[in-house]
Structures are given as structure tokens and as C-alpha cells.
Structure 1
Amino acid sequence: MIYTCTLKIQTYEIHSNISHLLGQKLLTYALQEEKSIKYRDEPLTLNPWGKPSLKNHPNIHFNISHSFNCIACVISDTYAVGIDVEKIRIFNPYAAKKVCTTEEIKKIYSSSNPDRVFFKFWTLKESYIKAIGKGLSHPMKDINFEIYPDGQILSNLSECRFHLIEDTNEFITAVCYLNI
């Protein structure tokens, strides 16, 4: 299940100080609603790259993301999960060259909205990296996507399925469901 909230706070300084805490609150709510688990009472364990999990509920997977004033959370007892939310802004061509394949870069530059297309690729890649729990130690350029106008997403990652959420002109959210 995916949970999101958008804060009415517009200044970066304020929201950057509370986004992490609100992400924890959103996760607390999600775990209570979906699994009747009281997050604050649960011991956590960290994998070698720092991804947290519930020590007493190893089959429940979760992930949190925040960007500017938007916070997102996903939980699953079926899949390892990763989520990334990003505010659409002017993309950095240097970053695109570092993380995108040649085909993805062509799609970005041929688009009428290159910023949006870049952040679709970015959030999809980031959601996968978060699902596998290895942080940025996994090269993003090794992951490639084809996004079709009907919403279908193909990748070179057969063990995953992906979901893009574009419910506003301001943010893009991607979720990765990794078969375990």
C-alpha cells in the first residue's frame, strides 16, 4: 500500500527539518492501518547498507521518500519495496549522463518536457536501488527503462515490477516491487 502527504510548507529550510520526522509518522500510520503494528514499539535492524527493517516482522517491507514538501511511504508483505518521490525541476544534464542509458537520454532530449521525463527515469531507478537496499553502491546506469504512453514500464529487471504516479504537475513518484 502506498501512502503520500503533501505539506503546505513552501520553504525548504522548514520542511527539510521536519520531512524525516513526518516520514516516520506516515510509516507509523501505515503500519498501524495495514498490519496493526505499533512502529514506535518495534526494534529495527539495518542491513549492511543501512536499510531498516522490522526485526520482529522480517516479512514486512517498507520504504520512505521525501522531496521538498511531499512525503511518500510504501509497505508490503509480499515484495521487497522501494519508493522515490521527486519534485519536478530543471534536470542536470551531467546527472542524466551519469545515470541514464543512451536510449533514455535520447528520450529525455526528444521530449516536449525533458525535466518530467528525466525524473521519471530517475525515480524508477532510485525506487529499484531502494528496494534492493544497497543504496547508491548499485550503478544506476545498469538499469534501463522504456516507458510507453499507455503507462506500461519495461526494464531489464525481470524480477521487478514498477509503478509510476503522476497525480500532479509538481511531483513524480515511482514504486518498485521486487520479488523475494
Structure 2
Amino acid sequence: MLLCCRLQYDGALLQRAGAASLPARREKAERIRSVRGRAASLAAGLLLRHGLFLCGLGEDQIRTGPEGKPFLAGNPAFVSLSHSGDYAACAIAPVPVGVDIQRIVPVSARAVRRFCTAGELAWLERQPDPRRAAIALWTLKESYLKASGELTEAVFAAEFQIGTGDEAAGPGGWRFSIDSRIEGYLLALCEKD
């Protein structure tokens, strides 16, 4: 299940969202200084609560790992959260899953060289919109990082391919997809085969 929402920055709405949030998510949001950051964190948590309800899973199973990543006790399902700009996303699946949403913004050449392989860099040079293509690679790698639990260096070294219709491929044993329906954003999903 994939859920996505657009954020609102109304103070009263944020207070209600905080009150409706699970304690760990509320505490995390309270540590964030910016209104946008708090809204994004709360929205991702509320999507998780709603998704669990739709899947018939209890929110009492939600735990938070040492790195802050949510998981469900007993692994009845796997969850992943993401937020960027004005959107938040949540994925829930019976297999390891990772979701990443990113606003399409300029990325420095230095950053791109850091997270892309030589083959991906060559592919980027041939793209009509290298900025969008770089964000697509980044979202794929982030979704893979979240789903696989691999170290960042291993994820950056993994080779990804993106087709003409946003079809995507990456390391074996995983399914990848990119969604570009939200204008100005890309959303990538990674699931274990």
C-alpha cells in the first residue's frame, strides 16, 4: 500500500495532527524547528497510522529503531516513510519496502558524482533533463537504502537503470518503480521480490 498527501501549514491543523500522532512521532516532530519540517514529520506519521488501519494492523505494534526508522513488532508488515517539500509518503508491504519522495531541485555536480556510478554518470550526460534524471536516481537509491538496510556506500555503488516510461531496475532481488504524477516531484518505491 502506498499513501501520499500534500502538507498544510495551518497552526490549528498542526496542533490537531500532533495530538493525533503516536507519541514517538510527536516527540520527533517537536524536536524539529521549522514549521514545514514538523508538518512533514507529523504527516508521514499520520499516513502510517491510516495505512495500518486500512491494512487491519494495530498501531500498538509500531516500534522505532535506534536510527529512528519505524517498524512493526513481529514483522507482520514492513513500513517506510518519506517527505520532501510539500508532500509526505508512506509505504506498507508484506515484504521489505522503501519509499522516497523528492522535489525536483538542482543538485550539485559534486553530489551527483558522489552517489552515481560511472555508468549512471554517462547515462545522465545523455538525458534531456539531467536534473530530473539525477533526482530519479537519488530517489531510487534512497528507496533501496530504506528497504534493504544496506550501507550508504553499497547503495551508492549499486547500478540503477531508468527506462523511457519511468521503468526502473536496480540490484537483483528487488522491484523498483518511479512515479512522476505529482508535478515537480518524483516518488520511488523499492520492494523485495
TM bracket (short chain): 0.7 to 0.9
Map 1:20-169; keep pairs closer than 5 Å: 20-34=41-55, 36-39=56-59, 41-44=60-63, 46=65, 49-55=67-73, 57-77=74-94, 79-134=95-150, 136=152, 138-155=153-170, 157-169=171-183
Change over 3 Å in CA distance of 1:45–1:142 after alignment to 2: same
2:36 corresponds in structure 1 to: 15
Residue type at the aligned position of 1:141: F
Query: Which stretches in structure 1 are left out of the alignment for 5+ residues?
Result: none
Are 1:63 and 1:73, in contact at CA under 8 Å, matched by a contact in 2?
yes
Greater relative contact order structure (CA < 8 Å, 6+ sep):
1
Q: Is 14-23 or 83-92 further displaced after alignment?
A: 14-23
Q: Over residues 30-76 of structure 1, what are the superposed CA-to-partner deviations in whole Å (9 max), with x where a residue is unaligned?
A: 11012x2232x335152x65533111x41310000000111000001
Kindly state the Cα deviation for residue 94 of structure 1 after the two structures are TM-superposed: 0.6
Q: Over residues 121-150 of structure 1, what are the superposed CA-to-partner deviations in whole Å (9 max), with x where a residue is unaligned?
A: 0000110000013463x4333111111113
Are 2:4 and 2:88, in contact at CA under 8 Å, matched by a contact in 1?
yes
Displaced runs of 4+ in structure 1, greater than 3 A? 48-51
Kindly state the Cα deviation for residue 108 of structure 1 after the two structures are TM-superposed: 1.9
2:14 corresponds in structure 1 to: none
Separation of aligned partners in 1, 2:88 and 2:47: 8
TM-score, structure 2 normalization: 0.80
Higher fraction of helix = 2
Q: How many residues align?
A: 171
Are 2:144 and 2:155, in contact at CA under 8 Å, matched by a contact in 1?
no
Residue type at the aligned position of 1:32: F
Kindly state the Cα deviation for residue 109 of structure 1 after the two structures are TM-superposed: 2.7
CA RMSD of aligned residues (A): 2.2
Are 1:146 and 1:153, in contact at CA under 8 Å, matched by a contact in 2?
yes
